[in-house]
Chains A and B, each alone.
Chain A
Amino acid sequence: MKEKRNIGQMITTVLPFAALVALFFIFIGVVNMKGYRLDMYLKIAFNEGVVLAVVATGAIFIYTLGTFDISLGASTLFSATMGVMTYNKTENLGLMILVIFAVGIICSLFNSVLASVFHIPAFVTTVAMMSVLTAVAAKIITTEGGALGGIRIPSSVLKPFDSMGCKIALLVIFFAVSLFMFRFTKVGRRQKFIGGNPLCAYLTGIRYNKYTIIAFVMAGIGVGLGAFLTLVYTPSVTTTTASSIGMNIFIAIVFGGMPISGGPFSKIYAALVGGFSFMLLNDILEIVIESNAAYGITQIISAVFFLIVVYLTSMNYRTAMLPR
């Protein structure tokens, strides 16, 4: 029985990586087949995936607790908005970066306070926060941007950061820190425990509030880094900036082989693997399906793949027994 479960676990562990590798080679194949420039397309795919990967990696800490935060996209928008406002007022790059991260963490902490201190379910508070942050950011953007429809900083300000090397370094550093916390400290283990069985964790003496706050702080850092990388890519903020991140995090985590219910099967690499897999899949479909095809066909096919992945990755988790 134990051997069977191990094989099942091995499949669900390897599958996301295998899918990423397969998608990567299919991506290379279709780009070459179409005669497009592969070097540029690889860069595009990376730029599309990196923001999602960092924000979703931070979000893993929240998802591990068995809850989720749907306001992360709105938080990214709000952080970027405040960053641009700060730079335009002070022309101080350091202060701008500080504000971006501070706003990201504060937004996330506010959610955690509501969730842990006032015991309001996180999905309720984050839905409310999503609306509030989006509305406030939209008000600032449209008021300050006027007829331009958005606010921006000069593109030269963040140009030095707009290189693959810099972005990869930031991604690796953040992922390494997250990996260390998740795998090699008690923070990750206890968060998995809470996600698996909150009552049992409580009876063992684990403080739910403390680990909830840590989870939201990590998510806030991810939001800050995501907002910064968004501005590095496009130094402007409109009301639709980062609008798709909130839902894409959910998809990325599932694509990465992590159960949405969190708990002991949570994987810190799920966001990274799933985020890039999702973006590669989208790009493949976009290239393969000509623009003349009906709009929305790529979304339908993505949805079918999503359901297949959910089915495959959840097969091993569908058990009546707690993992041991």
Chain B
Amino acid sequence: MKQRVTKVLGLLLAGVMTLGMLTACGGKNGDTEGGKDTSSASKETVKIGVLVADVSGEEAQGFRSYYEKYIASNYNVEFTYTDALESAEDEKSAIEKFASQGCKAIISLSGSDRAQQIETCEQYGVYYAVASGVLEDEQFETYKGYEYFVGQVGPSNATEFEAGKAMGEFFKNQGTKTVAIYGAFIPNPMHVYRLAGTIVGLGDTYGGTDDMNGIIGQIFQDQTLDLSKVEGDTEVVAYLQGYGDTTTDELNAAIQKSPEAFLSVGMATTFFTQSLNEAGIAFSDIDSFTQANGDAIENGKLTYLAGKYSSSIGPVFALVMNAVNGNVIRDDEGNAVSISQGYLVATDKATFDEYYVSDNGDSPIYDKATLDSIIGDNVTYADVKALVESK
């Protein structure tokens, strides 16, 4: 018995000591970190919370690197990231935590429930902006007048549709007759719009229509792409979506049907590059300009890449900084800003490098000099819109 009690006490002590060490290691805002004394700056540092749903994707890592390494070293800001948020409850809880930590603004890269995010930020008086995806039109109409909703800068749903359409058209114009399609994470709205665009771009119809809204509605209803509904110029010989235990089998089955091309509406370069290169099937993706994708274009079979670059989330930061500094930028009607960003397309290594190299390291496309032109007391909606549309 005595031995058992000793064991219990030992384990308890170990637990408490572990927690104590972690507590001590965590430090306090303003403590010395890595030899750099941050205490002097902490009073003026603007704390910005970032909501993220994806923590491992190449695009997500590129965004994070841009904010934490480039922006944080050039502006007096501190970014705090969430872990991967899985639900609307997680998002609300994260916003409440940011508010209690003294964050002045929140940038959202997570979209379980945007409406809830805006309402929660409004409740706590924290500025809010969307940096990935956009609100549905009806939803934006509802919330565009909210005091703390700064706005959204990113590809609109129509832009997502057009990105898919351009990708489909690229292969159709090359004379491709048979394709396999990867629908990524349907019913994620972004992927649904891209998929609908891809079908139209290939010269096909879905359920007898080539209208964007008509196709979108059916895909949401079907929860997948029903190949029996696809008709037109290009034959879709295989379709798969999601990523799980059966994905490899589904991919192999798709490869067995020998499509001339494999079109993906997202993340194929993360999941399938090696398999598709080995199978010798030309493939495309709507993703981002990363080193791995550059390798796939140069040495593999990646023939079409529509993507965003890491610093494309720069303008959202500028909007948020302006708001925190007292210049809440509104559009011409006095509402939150909504600016659509397009995709850049690379079909060869030279074009890829043009975007990738110019957006890396110390000289991103939205570098300090560029951002400074839209951060300030006198910056207007027209200034921001003009800059975003010029890139």
Contact = CB atoms under 8 A, between A and B. Distances in A.
A288 interface: yes
B192 A243 contact: no
A170 interface: no
Q: Which of A7, A37, A230, A237 has the most CB of B within 10 A?
A: A37
A240 B25 CA distance: 33
Contacts of B5: 7, 11
Contacts of A244: 86-87
Interface string B129-141: 0000000100100
Determine the interface band of chain B, counting residues with CB < 8 A from chain A: 35 or more
Contacts of B259: none
B339 interface: no
Contacts of B291: none
Contacts of A205: none
A180 interface: no
A283 B371 CA distance: 36
Given A234-B116, A295-B55, A315-B4, A30 B26 contact: yes
B29 A148 contact: no
B83 interface: yes
B198 interface: no
A35 B28 contact: yes
Contacts of B25: 288
A234 B88 contact: yes
B62 interface: no
Interface stretch (A90-98, A108-116, A125-133, A139-147): A139-147
A40 B96 contact: yes
Contacts of B223: 138-139, 142-143
Contacts of B92: 233-234
A298 B92 CA distance: 20
Interface in A12-62: 15, 22, 26, 29-30, 33-37, 40-41, 43-44, 47-48
Q: Which of B19, B68, B115 has the most CB of A within 10 A?
A: B19
Contacts of A295: 55-56, 83-84
Contact of B188 (A40, A149, A287): A149
A291 B116 contact: no
Contact of A4 (B1, B16, B157): B1
Interface in B1-49: 1, 4-5, 7-8, 11-12, 14-16, 18-19, 22-23, 25-29
Interface of A: 4, 7-8, 11, 15, 22, 26, 29-30, 33-37, 40-41, 43-44, 47-48, 138-139, 142-143, 146-150, 152, 155, 230, 233-238, 240-244, 284-292, 295, 298, 301, 304-305, 308, 311-312, 315
28 contacts: A7-B1, A8-B4, A26-B23, A34-B26, A36-B100, A37-B100, A44-B100, A142-B187, A143-B223, A146-B220, A147-B157, A147-B193, A149-B111, A149-B112, A149-B189, A152-B113, A155-B116, A235-B116, A236-B116, A240-B86, A240-B87, A243-B86, A285-B22, A288-B22, A295-B55, A295-B83, A312-B11, A315-B8
